[in-house]
Amino acid sequence: MIALSGEALMGLRHLARRGASPATRTLAGLPGGIVTRRRGRGSEPEDVRLWAEGDDRRHIDRNATARTGQLHVRTHHDERDRAVVLLADFRPSMLFGTRRTLRANAAAEALALLGWRIVADGGRVGLAVASAAGEPTVLRPAGGERAMAAVTGALALAHAAALEAAPGAADPPLEPLLGIAASLLPSGGHLVIGSALDDPGPDFERLLGLVAERVSVRLILVSDAFERARRPGFFPFALSDGRRGSLRADGSGGQALDARLADYAARGIAGLRLDVEAGPEAYAPLMERLDAVL
């Protein structure tokens, strides 16, 4: 599969919500987790009601109790406003794949699944798309299904434009879009990058560290099967601009990817590996776990 369908990305909302409830979240984090309710009572006042057996006395509302002469408790809800920007890498190096689909398509599928989970839980989702097709696609975070409809439509349009611009194009650096994506978020917001991070730019790592000081950064490292399972030796290749050559492989692709993720984790940037050939059914539980740490 080469084309990316907005309708297919819209359809992933059912897969994202399967077995999930807005009242429950996976709190244990990557790579495992236990689905449980959020702990605590929140901090935003919601209602005052009569005290009942089993209520925590620490929640007694003194004003209502003094005014009525009967014990009242104040209930609260979680006031968190989760703002998440999804950064999708559609640069020419991502328009490659040997099984099922392209790396860019797999990144879009995973990000869409995550986006559907976030809006179902009351969060806001924005989008930034990197490609070689002129100006980047940027959407500010917004909530609800209408926001995700805009995100999925923008992903499909940006992907089509990226395919048209791909022949002979070089990967532009990710650095400018990284800065734009971070600027869409309030302090404490969340940036999720779906990319293989091929040639991100000479200043990318430094800028990523600066961004991670202000917002939470999570990484979906996209991996094609050939990168992980290739046998040692020389492999011929042909590029879209007509150039040909050979690539030497040492058979250590999978270990290199895992080591890269471990290096990011040591710097406080949690991530996971996304195997292109696995497909959305396998991505859904991974996005549930990633959602837990946002």
3-state secondary structure the chain: CCCCCHHHHHHHHHHHHCCCCCCEEECCCCCCCCEEECCCCCCEEEEEEECCCCCCHHHECHHHHHHHCCCEEEEEECCCCCEEEEEEECCHHHCCCCCCCCHHHHHHHHHHHHHHHHHHCCCEEEEEEECCCCCCEEEEEEEHHHHHHHHHHHHHHHHHHHHHHCCCCCCCCCHHHHHHHHHCCCCCCEEEEEECCCCCCCCHHHHHHHHHHHCEEEEEEEECHHHHHCCCEEEEEECCCCCEEEEEECCCHHHHHHHHHHHHHHCCCCEEEEEHHHCHHHHHHHHHHHHHCC
Say if CB 78 and CB 42 are below 8 A apart.
Answer: yes
- How far is Cα 52 from Cα 73, in angstroms, rounded to an integer? 9
Q: Supply the pLDDT for residue 18.
A: 64
Q: Supply the pLDDT for residue 76.
A: 58
Closest by CA position to 139, among listed 157, 122, 124, 127: 127
pLDDT digits (tens, 9 = 90+) for 48-69: 888 777 677 778 888 888 989 9
Q: Supply the pLDDT for residue 176.
A: 95
Q: How far apart are the first and last CA of the chain?
A: 30
Task: Read off the tokens for 30.
Answer: 């990557």
- How far is Cα 121 from Cα 223, in angstroms, rounded to an integer? 29
- How far is Cα 280 from Cα 14, in angstroms, rounded to an integer? 11
Q: Supply the pLDDT for residue 232.
A: 64
Q: Supply the pLDDT for residue 29.
A: 39
User: What's the predicted TM-score (pTM) here?
Assistant: 0.77
pLDDT digits (tens, 9 = 90+) for 35-46: 344 444 444 455
Cβ partners under 8 Å of residue 247, min gap 6 = 234, 235, 236, 237
Task: Read off the tokens for 190.
Answer: 């969340």
Q: Supply the pLDDT for residue 235.
A: 64
Q: Supply the pLDDT for residue 240.
A: 57
Q: Supply the pLDDT for residue 62.
A: 87
Task: Read off the tokens for 208.
Answer: 């990523």
What's the distance, CA 185 to chain centroid?
A: 14
Q: Supply the pLDDT for residue 227.
A: 80
Strand partners, 72: 50
Q: What is the CATH number of domain 6-23+80-292?
A: 3.40.50.410
**Stretches in the chain below the pLDDT threshold 50:** 19-44, 77-79
Q: Supply the pLDDT for residue 36.
A: 40
* Per-domain boundaries in the chain: 6-23+80-292, 39-77
Q: From the CB of residue 132, how many other CB atoms can be counted at a distance below 10 Å?
A: 20
